[in-house]
Amino acid sequence: MPAQPALQRRIAHLDMDAFFASVELLRYPQLRGLPMVIGGGRRREDEMFARLRAAYPGRDWGPETLDRIPTDFFPRLKDYVGRGVATTATYAARQFGVGSAMGLMKAARLCPDAILLPVDFDEVRRLSRLFKNTIREIAPVLEDRGVDEVYIDFTEVPGGQREGGRVLARLIQKSIFQATGLTCSIGVAPNKLIAKMASEFNKPNGISIVLPEDLQTLIWPLPCRKINGIGPKADARLAGHGIRTIGELAARERSWLVAHFGRSYGAWLHEAAWGRDDRPVETESEPVSMSRETTFERDLHAVRDRAELGAIFTRLCEQVSADLRRKGYAGRTIGIKITYDNFEKVTRDITIGEATDHADVIRRHAGQCLRRVDLSRRLRLLGVRVGKLVKPGTESDDGRRYSAAASAPPRTARDRSPDDHTDLLFPELG
DNA sequence: TCTGGGGTCCTAGGACCC
DNA sequence: TCTGGGGTCCTAGGACCC
């Protein structure tokens, strides 16, 4: 058999431009170009229609006339009250310094007149499926990285090597636009690490090609923070050593990085700075855990707000249970998460013998976990999590067969915290 | 008027077994 | 009785990402 010439690995990272906001622009094209922030509470179309009918009597306002609603009828950031954060900001809003993950109250100070719309989850999911399926028809090796991001392996796709991947990237951009009306940015590089950075080079609606020989000119000048896996903490520590750019990171000895950042992370930092990454594009993955959590409108106290907290707790357990059943999983580890009013976080969990997807079993064990934390302080957030997931009725890793209907575990006398108020919160546990 | 809601992965200590 | 190592599982916290 004649030896095939070795193909150069070409990996693409694609992300949709301001995805959640762009989805809204499909519905309300008249908002294009205006500063807009997505996040916060629920949709208030009915209120908008009522005000429109009052302002323009005789005209028929409804779902068919969304694109004719005057822009000054849309809700503004300055009118928002609550604890939400921005999911996405349009490029016009980013000019004012508004960014995703920013608290809406802070965003309102920066850009009070920005239009504020909540996320349309159904439409986001529909368009997410649509753009990913569009890509799969062209390049089937695709890794899902959330609603608006994917990695694609171009290596063996016909045309995937032409112009370093630019030709295929253009085809994908064009196909996605035809199918959805949405734009995206694509970076193509020798691996996922570099591709991820490259997709940011040319936003929105851009394509960037990085070849192995471009490492020093295109990657090394960038701040360390641009590496996917270097977050705010690691970045601050690196800065403390005078390391600000990827090039400066690459200049450090591997042994020095290992000595200061640990064997695993230090070695990884070194590889990343030299642009080395051989992770494959993973087309399948199994979930590890499922959880639901909620931040309260105001901080709650286990005793004084016992009824409200108890109802929220039950609802979270029911939601996790419903999520598990809908997706066909059950889990053996049940846990809770609490954020106190000062943002301190604690978690507790318990592993039981048999996997469950029952809301009442989850609630019973999560309730036991709650007894092990300090409930004398005000709470900002409560979460319920189920981990060690298995598909009921299928063989799990250790060969045991799990059933969805779990039995109650032995009740152990765990270390009760001195300020245990769960008897008030959950009298049935007494 | 700071700071959501889902996730994954890693580390580290202790229990327990061989 | 003491020392000691390897392996796995469980739990808690934390960094990071979308």
**Digitized pLDDT (tens) for each residue of chain A, 430 residues in all:** 566 777 899 999 999 999 999 999 999 999 999 999 999 876 677 777 788 888 888 778 888 888 999 999 999 999 998 898 999 999 999 999 999 889 999 999 999 999 999 999 999 999 999 999 999 999 999 999 999 999 999 999 999 999 999 999 999 999 999 999 999 999 999 999 999 999 999 999 999 999 999 999 999 999 999 999 999 999 999 999 999 999 999 999 999 999 999 989 999 999 999 999 999 999 999 999 999 999 999 999 999 999 999 999 999 999 999 999 999 999 999 999 999 999 999 999 999 999 999 999 999 999 999 999 999 999 999 999 999 999 976 544 444 444 433 433 333 333 344 444 555 455 444 3
Which pLDDT score is estimated for A3?
Answer: 65
Strand B contact at CB of residue A262, distance < 7 A: yes
Say what the pLDDT of residue A52 is. Answer: 82
The whole-number Å distance from A144's CA to B1's C1' is 37
Query: What's the CA gap between A236 and A224, in Å, rounded?
Result: 10
From the number of C-beta atoms within 10 Å of its C-beta (0-12, 13-18, 19+), residue A279 rates as: exposed
Residue A406 confidence (pLDDT): 40
- Is nucleic acid strand C under 7 Å from A232's C-beta? yes
Closest CA relative to residue A200, chosen from A212, A210, A214? A210
- Count of positions (residues) in chain A: 430
Q: Which residue is nearest to nucleotide C9 (CA to C1')?
A: A351
Whole-number pLDDT of residue A364 = 98
Q: What is the pLDDT of residue A416?
A: 41
Give the CA A263 to C1' B11 distance in Å. 12
Identify the active-site residue in A137, A149, A248, A297. Answer: A149
Whether A149 is catalytic: yes
Q: Gap from A264 CA to C6 C1', in Å?
A: 21
Instruction: State residue A402's pLDDT score.
Output: 45
Tokens found for residue A139: 């390049």
A147 touches strand C (CB under 7 A): yes
Q: CA dist A418 to A44, A111, A358, Å?
A: 46, 47, 30
CA distance readout (Å), A93 to A35, A36, A184: 4, 6, 18
> What secondary structure, in 3-state letters, does chain A show?
CCCCCCCCCCEEEEEECCHHHHHHHHHCHHHCCCCEEEECCCCCHHHHHHHHHHHCCCCCCCHHHHHHCCHHHCCEHHHCCCCCEEEEECHHHHCCCCCCCCEHHHHHHHCCCCEEECCCHHHHHHHHHHHHHHHHHHCCCEEECCCCEEEEECCCCCCCCHHHHHHHHHHHHHHHHHHHCCCEEEEEECCHHHHHHHCCCCCCCCEEECCHHHHHHHHCCCEHHHCCCCCHHHHHHHHHCCCCEHHHHHCCCHHHHHHHHCHHHHHHHHHHHCCCCCCCCCCCCCCCEEEEEEEEEEEECCCCCHHHHHHHHHHHHHHHHHHHHHHCCEEEEEEEEEEECCCCEEEEEEEEEEEECCHHHHHHHHHHHHCCCCCCCCEEEEEEEEEEEECCCCECCCCCECCCCCCCCCCCCCCCCCCCCHHHHCHHHC
Q: How far apart are CA A60 and CA A14, in angstroms?
A: 41
In this prediction the pTM is: 0.90
Q: Which residues on adjacent β-strands are paired with residue A103?
A: A85
Q: Is the CB of residue A192 inside 7 Å of nucleic acid strand C?
A: no
Nucleotide of closest approach to A334 (CA, C1'): C11
- Asked whether residue A345's C-beta has any atom of DNA/RNA strand C within 7 A, the reply is yes
Give whole-number Cα distances, A37 to A17, A18, A411, in Å.
14, 10, 48
Res A407: pLDDT: 38
Point out which residues pair with A36 in neighbouring strands: A115
Closest-approach nucleotide to residue A13, Cα vs C1': C18
CB-strand contact A289/B, under 7 Å: yes
A101 CB less than 7 Å from any atom of strand B = yes
Listed as ranges, the nucleotides of chain C within 7 A of a protein C-beta are 9-18
